[in-house]
Chains A and B, each alone.
Chain A
């Protein structure tokens, strides 16, 4: 009897030992992006900015990209003397891509780490979970790349520096209608992803308003790429353009399979396509297809050139759109901090809300009364497996 109870305790001890072992291992690896929780008290005098992101789990690549760019921005800012003469420190907490953990992460950033502002998240659903907590604590939150219109609706402390899905859907529809001269479009979207299904609806609406027809609207579930029947429907529909607002992990495979299935229509996607992996997966099939994005690394502007060069030097790869937005979110925050009379929540909030004609990597934009960034989008085309800027579409 007694033995059993002790065995129970023993197994608990073993769990603890295992996790401790894992912890040591991690320590040796030199704790990379994810900031610690224990004893991570801000160094006196430095300003703490929080970042909650998916550093692990299925969406880890998004979080890591954004986090690296924010760290680059902070490094550059600190090299120039920091904000208001104080150094800036970043605390990143991983939310593993789960809503409940996102809420905990924001709570910790604000209460344990005393962050003056919070940056995050990429995924709209996680921004929606973290936002109410920042709002309640009156700490401004800037989402770098949540494009769902509801995100900033949470309250007057929630901002974003990217465009919205309804704008993006409109941009894609306009490009399809006016630049590609298409009148018949098909939509193939991921029914399980809010991002994808939302964008599909906005494109649908905008394309019809511009005078086109949606010949078929097909759904798939992210990851389940047994979509031969969907592709057959699209093939038979006579569409000239297929709008595919999924993430790159699905889009690459779908484009390749579509070509094999004999679909000759051009594919058009959203910013979820932006990844170096996409042309690798899709192979030759990627060429001649387009997607809307926040910026193009080839753009000939000093901000873009500097950023791409520094990012490459630091991390050895070309920054994607998420990195550019993470960088801009940090810059907008620094700009507001410099202007704000103090760094408490309401003052900082007002300063961010007053951002006008800010020029960042992703273009020149202002924050409007709904706390969204008013900006333009670029259309990128794949040529010979490489991204090339095709068009810039200004705001409505």
Chain B
């Protein structure tokens, strides 16, 4: 473990954690938006992420960009946009069919419905006629070139793209939520749905837009995840785990808060990648230390919730009597 604590190692670990954090942030935003407005945990969100990856595969292979091994440079942006649009439509449809009839029902019901939707998407995706039950890959869409070498560390196209895309999309979302009329309507509904409705806000449209935004971001997250880790079948636990971690990030950052989700994602990625790297390196003779990766994530969740239940950037709400 002689060269574990060098500057180049530190730089590489930092890049890794930023890229993972960006990925989590994109997915966490979907959770946070929906929770902020409807106050329920959208368990089907991770399945939209999974479908995003698989839809990208279908689109790309349908256009013949995967066959040649090397796809044209415009392929990835086109696939990204098409997938984001399709997933947005999917998110809106799911909300319309499954969640809207339950708008006034207890939240637990909506949650179980979300689990039902999640199981449905997982198992439909598994059918041979849909995506099938074998892993696949879309890595041909992005040649993972080395952009530059800084201090012995390769800066790779993928990592840079993830970080850039995450930053851009978070800023865009932030502008939408805090700078547009629709964003004001969203915040109004999140604050008090009935009053907002009385003030002339069309709650249904606001909710639809929220799902469209969240699902589009999920699709982007799904494609980035698939570029990084390839595609597992839709029912694979890796998607659930990915969703859980992104959700944990949203909660840790303060659920319902756009900046909080980004901050939470960075914190979760930090403990998962950075802390894990150096704690493991510090105990080379204790192999079980290397298996604590998931414990760091859920441990930080419980700690944050106990000491600051509203999350890092969440506002503590006073309960109305």
Query: Which one of A58, A229, A232 has the greatest number of beta carbons of chain B within 10 Å?
Result: A229
Partner of A249 from the list B139, B144, B232 (CB cut-off 8 Å) is: B232
Cα A281 to Cα B16 in complex, Å, equals 21
Partner of B293 from the list A221, A223, A262 (CB cut-off 8 Å) is: A221
Given A60-B133, A221-B294, A252-B135, A229 contacting B280 (CB threshold 8 A) = yes
Interface residues of B in 120-159 (CB under 8 A from A): 126, 133-137, 139, 144, 154, 156
Q: List, in ascending order, chain B residues with CB within 8 A of A232's CB.
A: 4, 9, 12-13, 16, 277
What distance in Å separates the Cβ of A221 from its nearest Cβ neighbour in chain B? 6
Cβ-defined contact, A58 with B290, below 8 A: no
Cα A275 to Cα B238 in complex, Å, equals 20
Cα A277 to Cα B233 in complex, Å, equals 12
B272 within 8 A of A: yes
Query: What interface size band does chain A fall in?
Result: 35 or more
Cβ-defined contact, A253 with B229, below 8 A: yes
Interface residues of B in 225-249 (CB under 8 A from A): 228-230, 232-233, 235-239, 241-242
Partner of B1 from the list A226, A236, A260, A262 (CB cut-off 8 Å) is: A236
A81 within 8 A of B: no
B20 within 8 A of A: yes
Given A58-B233, A221-B293, A223-B237, A252 contacting B9 (CB threshold 8 A) = no
Report the count of interface residues on B (CB-CB < 8 A). Answer: 44
Interface residues of A in 80-113 (CB under 8 A from B): none
Partner of B136 from the list A61, A236, A280 (CB cut-off 8 Å) is: A280
Q: List, in ascending order, chain B residues with CB within 8 A of A225's CB.
A: 228-230, 238
Interface residues of A in 340-386 (CB under 8 A from B): none
What distance in Å separates the Cβ of B21 from its nearest Cβ neighbour in chain A? 11
A187 and chain B: residue at smallest CB distance: B287
Partner of A216 from the list B3, B20, B272, B284 (CB cut-off 8 Å) is: B284
B229 and chain A: residue at smallest CB distance: A225
A228 within 8 A of B: yes
Given A229-B13, A260-B144, A281 contacting B277 (CB threshold 8 A) = no
B15 and chain A: residue at smallest CB distance: A228
A388 within 8 A of B: no
A233 within 8 A of B: yes
Q: B284-299 CB contact bits vs A (8 Å, 1 = yes)?
A: 1001001101100000
Cα A98 to Cα B12 in complex, Å, equals 40
Partner of B230 from the list A58, A228, A281 (CB cut-off 8 Å) is: A281
What distance in Å separates the Cβ of A7 from its nearest Cβ neighbour in chain B? 14
B279 and chain A: residue at smallest CB distance: A229
Cα A221 to Cα B241 in complex, Å, equals 10
What distance in Å separates the Cβ of B243 from its nearest Cβ neighbour in chain A? 12
Interface residues of A in 51-69 (CB under 8 A from B): 56-58, 60-61
Cα A10 to Cα B229 in complex, Å, equals 45
Q: List, in ascending order, chain B residues with CB within 8 A of A256's CB.
A: 139, 230
A5 within 8 A of B: no
Interface residues of A in 268-302 (CB under 8 A from B): 275, 277, 280-281, 283
A218 within 8 A of B: yes
Cβ-defined contact, B291 with A277, below 8 A: no
Cα A243 to Cα B4 in complex, Å, equals 21
B301 within 8 A of A: no
B45 within 8 A of A: no
Q: List, in ascending order, chain A residues with CB within 8 A of B237's CB.
A: 58, 222-223
A191 within 8 A of B: yes
Cα A229 to Cα B13 in complex, Å, equals 7
A248 and chain B: residue at smallest CB distance: B135
Partner of B273 from the list A217, A223, A228, A260 (CB cut-off 8 Å) is: A228
A37 within 8 A of B: no
B140 and chain A: residue at smallest CB distance: A283
B317 within 8 A of A: no
Q: List, in ascending order, chain A residues with CB within 8 A of B154's CB.
A: 262
Interface residues of B in 273-321 (CB under 8 A from A): 273-274, 276-277, 280-281, 284, 287, 290-291, 293-294
Cβ-defined contact, B230 with A253, below 8 A: yes
Cβ-defined contact, A61 with B291, below 8 A: no
A217 and chain B: residue at smallest CB distance: B287
What distance in Å separates the Cβ of A346 from its nearest Cβ neighbour in chain B? 39
A224 within 8 A of B: yes
Cβ-defined contact, A277 with B293, below 8 A: no
Cα A233 to Cα B12 in complex, Å, equals 12
Cβ-defined contact, A224 with B281, below 8 A: no
Q: B102-117 CB contact bits vs A (8 Å, 1 = yes)?
A: 0000000000000000
Partner of B135 from the list A191, A230, A233, A277 (CB cut-off 8 Å) is: A277
Cα A222 to Cα B135 in complex, Å, equals 13
Partner of A58 from the list B12, B236, B287 (CB cut-off 8 Å) is: B236
Cβ-defined contact, A61 with B287, below 8 A: no
Binding site for B on A (CB under 8 A): 56-58, 60-61, 191, 216-226, 228-230, 232-233, 236-237, 248-249, 252-253, 256, 260, 262, 275, 277, 280-281, 283
Q: List 24 A-B contacts (CB under 8 A).
A: A56-B126, A58-B237, A191-B291, A217-B290, A218-B280, A219-B287, A220-B293, A222-B238, A224-B241, A224-B293, A225-B228, A225-B230, A232-B13, A233-B281, A236-B3, A248-B135, A252-B230, A253-B229, A262-B154, A275-B134, A277-B134, A280-B136, A281-B139, A283-B137
